[in-house]
Amino acid sequence: MNGVLLYDKPAGITSHDVVARVRRELGRGVKVGHAGTLDPFATGLLLVLVGRATRVQRYVMELRKTYLAVARFGFVSSTLDPEGEIVTTGVVPSGDLVLPTGELSQRPPAYSAVKVGGRRAYALARAGEPVAGQSDRAADGSENRRFAREEGSALGPRLTNSQFTRNCE
């Protein structure tokens, strides 16, 4: 079997959990992977690659995607998402807020799936090791936590992502 499965990932499971489930369903000997990790709290489109489709993963990763992030004002968590401990509280702003939209260049946060020195950044951060050497790049889903932190700080209040959904254009 070869192809791409469009999986609507619910909150509460990892992208790896989805791949493992598909592997079990298809049986031994079938390669299965995915085109982009979604955090456990995130929902939305996960492209599951099966068989020969796993060979085009790097091209599928470059397809345009859209993200809808819902942020909560008033606190920042240790992971910049609803799964971390609240580490800072602040003031909720009044009036209309203007946040940037469109394509943005951002530095991935410490709690992201990008690799630093061959290890996942989130693994280094959770182990208490410094996460350095990440470069700026165009924004994708992994940077929405950092965006919430920086834009929230620029506005004065604190901001943390509380909900996150990925779609395909």
Residue type, 21: R
Cα 51–Cα 53–Cα 56 angle in degrees, nearest 5: 140
Q: Which of helix, strand or coil describes residue 83?
A: coil
> Is-contact 134 116, C-beta < 8 A?
yes
> Would residue 39 show up in a list of annotated catalytic residues for this protein?
yes
> In degrees rounded to 5, what are phi and psi of residue 25?
-65, -40
Rg for the chain (alpha carbons), in Å? 17
Q: How many residues does the chain have?
A: 169
Q: Which two tokens stand for residue 97?
A: 């807020």
- Cα(40)–Cα(92) distance, integer angstroms: 27
User: Which of 8, 17, 39, 140 is labelled catalytic?
Assistant: 39
**Among residues 155, 112, 169, which one has the least CA distance to residue 137?**
112
Catalytic residue ranges: 39
